[in-house]
Structure 1
Amino acid sequence: MTRTLHLPVSAGGLEPYTPGHAFGPYTPPCSPLTSRVAYAAAHVVADAHAEQPPGSPAVLDWDRTLAFRHELWRWGFGVAEAMDTAQRGMGLDWPTAAELIRRSAADARSVGGRIVAGVSTDQLTAPQPSLDDITAAYLEQLAVTEEAGATAVVMASRALASAARTPEDYLTVYDRILSQVSQPVVLHWLGDMFDPRLRGYWGSADLDAATETVLTIMNAHASRIDGIKLSLLNADRERALRRRLLVGVRLYTGDDFNYSDLILGDADSGHSDALLGVFAAIAPAASQALQALDKGDVDTYRALMEPTVPLGRHLFETPTFHYKTGVVFLAWLGGHQDQFTMINGAQTNRSLIHLAQLFRLADQTGLLRDPDIAAGRMYSFLELHGATR
């Protein structure tokens, strides 16, 4: 029988909580998901035995890292590799990211899984790179990614956000990149709640003006663009953008607050496909919901997907960019890795109160594969922090 825990609460003190909600019932799909294209952005598992203080090159537990990707493929998701969920630019350096892309793409081929991977400019070391330097960095990573066999996600670049002075600078850089892709790519618009250094991306802090710039790029290169991942946490803005996309160009929601409604869609603006960090935390429930949607069963879709939204909103609460800590914490509770350790020391980026609430929500949503194991790990975590009684 699962033990009662005493969990810290925001009002101070401890409150008793007895976990034990059954896992699921969730069943992996027997065939590919069809109604939506759905990618889960995957985290990386740190090698707990390696010395890797903040700022040092990442050292991964490759077996556990790749095993988690196989878990996502098993549930019917594509894998979005080497993106911000994998701590790209927040601990995951380019040499390790390149190796991760190669290994994950090889494993994807072995199981027939879908994979996209982040292409960025994080190998640059100069304090003020030029637009030519930035373009060359993008193209270097594009070559590695395409050679590995993954579809490129052209990630928003901190270097470009710093160097660009006008919308025309973005048009110039993206024109050079997109003219050299060998297959359609996914563009990437990450709001500053996910990365403050991306404020003003596309040449303006005015989101209406920024939208016009990104649409200019997309319309000029429509045959080279599969879609755009939009992570602005603004459902109305996402609906407005997808109304304006050319036929055949996908909008991949990156809205980890409003994904349930945006994926379902509406008669006026259509639906969003998905490229979400939250899917790594809710994969079984989201898979079951999408399987229901494949059958046209909207009621079951809502019954399965909507209860995960409070967990997603908590996971991505301000400061949003620390959501990776919660993703890894849930992977540890779920038995996907043996320790709660992250590259760059990021396991300390969320409070004990935040993680305790995440445990409650995961249990209440039926997402803990083994409540007894999860409760034991939660107890040991509380004990480590002196929060048991």
Structure 2
Amino acid sequence: MTAVHLPDGAGSRTEHVLAEPGAWPRPQAPIGSRRAYAAAHVVPHVLADNTPGAPAQLDWDATLGFRHDVWSYGLGVADAMDTAQRGMGLDWPATQELIRRSTAEAAAALTAGHPGLRGRTVRDLIACGAGTDQLDPAGIAPGEAGLRAVEAAYREQLAVVEGAGAKVVLMASRALVRAARGAEDYLRVYTGLLDEVRHPVVLHWLGTMFDPALTGYWGSEEVEAATETFLQLIRSRPDKVDGVKVSLLDAGHETRLRAALPDGVRLYTGDDFNYPELVHGDGTRHSDALLGIFAGIYPAASTALQAYDDGQPDRARAILDSTEALGRHVFGAPTFYYKSGIAFLSWLNGHQPGYQMVGGLHSGRSVPHLVRVFQLADRAGLLLDPELAARRMGAFLDVAGAGAPALVPAGGAGGAA
């Protein structure tokens, strides 16, 4: 029996006995029922200057090793996106290196003999974000000069992603929000880029709960008006759009959008709250997945997708449902700090030497929040080495000052010893 004493919110500690990890087999054949990418985080050197504004210094062994583990479960990796701290600590020089290294490792994974990757291509294994985050949005003014700067920045990043050999995820741009004067400017920029790409891309619509700087994307703060602009773009170039990645945390909107897409254009859900019902589908259509939460639950996610392949949809849905509470907690408001929970799960499971994040982002969540992450991950069978997880959780609580009750001197008041 493995146990750890956890703070209960009432000033006491309660013994928590860990469950056995789930039975999460690696696939013996490629997953075919759904296409799925886990949006992976990055691991910094623990002794780097991981403070806000400092250049990102990554622990490449841990960062790339995590991706290999995801691939071993037959899933793709979505890299250099918001989960990897784009716009929240990962600078453009480090991003370029990440794209090149991760894509090279994806090619290596194809020769590693994993049964779940047979017949796959590099672009099936890795999709990388191309955006405009080398620009300072504060220096972008509305109008022609701003639009030209945005287009040039996108082209620079597209050249890196396509040159590496990864699938392109065309990310939302904070700079374009400032430069665009209306929906027509979004259509101009995106249409020009789609005309130039060599392979179909994934269009990424990231909601304001993930990034408040994207308010008014597609030219309107009204979701339905923005959706019409989005669909106008896709319908104009369906051969250049592999799929859309929508992160609005609105299952009803996603279901309607999914039905309106042209044939052959996938909807990769980015809804980390409602993914079980969206991936499961309504009997007519289902969503594929490009999810940050899949970086935390990838063994279970893979097992669920294998169950769909095996004609066991009820079992698949039950597995996904068993992880939903964890996903909703990790992505709870303020949602843009969800990356802290993903990194915490990675550390608990031994994928990185310390609970550190680029730019000091590991401080973005409270001790009680992370205690709940631990409890929900255990309930879902996602603490894969319970002894290691318990040991690390206990050490974390000790350092946080929550590992033992405060010692109060006789007479009442006093401070912790």
Other-structure match for 1:96:
94
Bigger radius of gyration = 2
Other-structure match for 1:296:
311
Other-structure match for 2:161:
145
Other-structure match for 2:355:
340
Other-structure match for 2:170:
154
1:226 equivalent to 2:242? Answer yes
Other-structure match for 2:277:
261
The separation in 1 between residues aligned to 2:325 and 2:15, in whole angstroms, is 18
Question: 1:8 Cα deviation (Å)?
Answer: 4.0
User: Which string of whole-angstrom CA distances, capped at 9 and with x for unpartnered residues, describes residues 152-185 of structure 1?
Assistant: 0000001111221200010111011111000000
1:156-195 matches, cutoff 5 A = 156-195=172-211
Other-structure match for 1:131:
147
Other-structure match for 2:68:
70
The separation in 1 between residues aligned to 2:383 and 2:133, in whole angstroms, is 35
User: Which string of whole-angstrom CA distances, capped at 9 and with x for unpartnered residues, describes residues 13-43 of structure 1?
Assistant: 2341323211111111012110000000000
The separation in 1 between residues aligned to 2:8 and 2:393, in whole angstroms, is 12
The answer on whether the counterparts of 2:137 and 2:178 sit within 8 Å (CA) in structure 1 is no
1:373 equivalent to 2:351? Answer no
* Aligned-partner SS, 1:179: helix
Other-structure match for 1:202:
218
Question: 1:358 Cα deviation (Å)?
Answer: 0.5
* Aligned-partner SS, 1:339: coil
Aligned residues: 386
The separation in 2 between residues aligned to 1:126 and 1:30, in whole angstroms, is 47
The separation in 1 between residues aligned to 2:296 and 2:8, in whole angstroms, is 22
Q: TM-score, normalised by structure 1?
A: 0.97
The separation in 1 between residues aligned to 2:238 and 2:137, in whole angstroms, is 33
Other-structure match for 1:6:
6
The 4+ residue runs of structure 1 with deviation greater than 4 A are: none
* Aligned-partner SS, 1:229: strand
User: Which string of whole-angstrom CA distances, capped at 9 and with x for unpartnered residues, describes residues 316-344 of structure 1?
Assistant: 00000000000000100011111001100
The separation in 2 between residues aligned to 1:75 and 1:171, in whole angstroms, is 38
The separation in 2 between residues aligned to 1:374 and 1:256, in whole angstroms, is 24
1:57 equivalent to 2:68? Answer no
* Aligned-partner SS, 2:78: strand
The separation in 2 between residues aligned to 1:342 and 1:26, in whole angstroms, is 27
Q: 1:368 to 1:126 in 2, by over 3 A?
A: closer
- Could you tell me which amino acid in structure 2 is paired with residue 63 of structure 1? D
User: Which string of whole-angstrom CA distances, capped at 9 and with x for unpartnered residues, describes residues 336-377 of structure 1?
Assistant: 111001100001000000000000001111101111110111
* Aligned-partner SS, 1:182: coil
* Aligned-partner SS, 1:4: strand
Query: 1:87 aligned to 67, 85, 88, which one?
Result: 85
The separation in 2 between residues aligned to 1:147 and 1:48, in whole angstroms, is 31
- Could you tell me which amino acid in structure 2 is paired with residue 362 of structure 1? A
The answer on whether the counterparts of 2:44 and 2:50 sit within 8 Å (CA) in structure 1 is no
The separation in 1 between residues aligned to 2:78 and 2:308, in whole angstroms, is 22
The separation in 1 between residues aligned to 2:59 and 2:276, in whole angstroms, is 32
The separation in 2 between residues aligned to 1:201 and 1:333, in whole angstroms, is 36
The separation in 1 between residues aligned to 2:396 and 2:327, in whole angstroms, is 22
The answer on whether the counterparts of 1:8 and 1:352 sit within 8 Å (CA) in structure 2 is no
The separation in 2 between residues aligned to 1:305 and 1:337, in whole angstroms, is 25
Other-structure match for 1:27:
25
Gaps of 5+ in 2: 111-121, 141-145, 405-417
The separation in 2 between residues aligned to 1:249 and 1:275, in whole angstroms, is 14
Other-structure match for 2:116:
none
1:238 equivalent to 2:227? Answer no
1:283-362 matches, cutoff 5 A = 283-362=298-377
Question: 1:126 Cα deviation (Å)?
Answer: 6.6
| Alignment RMSD (CA, Å) | 1.1
Gaps of 5+ in 1: none
- Could you tell me which amino acid in structure 1 is paired with residue 92 of structure 2? W
Question: 1:124 Cα deviation (Å)?
Answer: 1.4
The answer on whether the counterparts of 1:19 and 1:371 sit within 8 Å (CA) in structure 2 is no
Query: 1:122 aligned to 133, 143, 146, which one?
Result: 133
The answer on whether the counterparts of 2:78 and 2:127 sit within 8 Å (CA) in structure 1 is yes
Task: State which drifts further: 14-23 or 315-324.
Answer: 14-23
The separation in 2 between residues aligned to 1:125 and 1:232, in whole angstroms, is 25
- Could you tell me which amino acid in structure 1 is paired with residue 344 of structure 2? F
* Aligned-partner SS, 1:29: coil
The separation in 2 between residues aligned to 1:237 and 1:157, in whole angstroms, is 22
* Aligned-partner SS, 2:296: helix
The separation in 2 between residues aligned to 1:97 and 1:90, in whole angstroms, is 12
Question: 1:388 Cα deviation (Å)?
Answer: 2.0
Q: 1:126 to 1:368 in 2, by over 3 A?
A: closer
* Aligned-partner SS, 1:118: strand
The answer on whether the counterparts of 2:137 and 2:174 sit within 8 Å (CA) in structure 1 is no
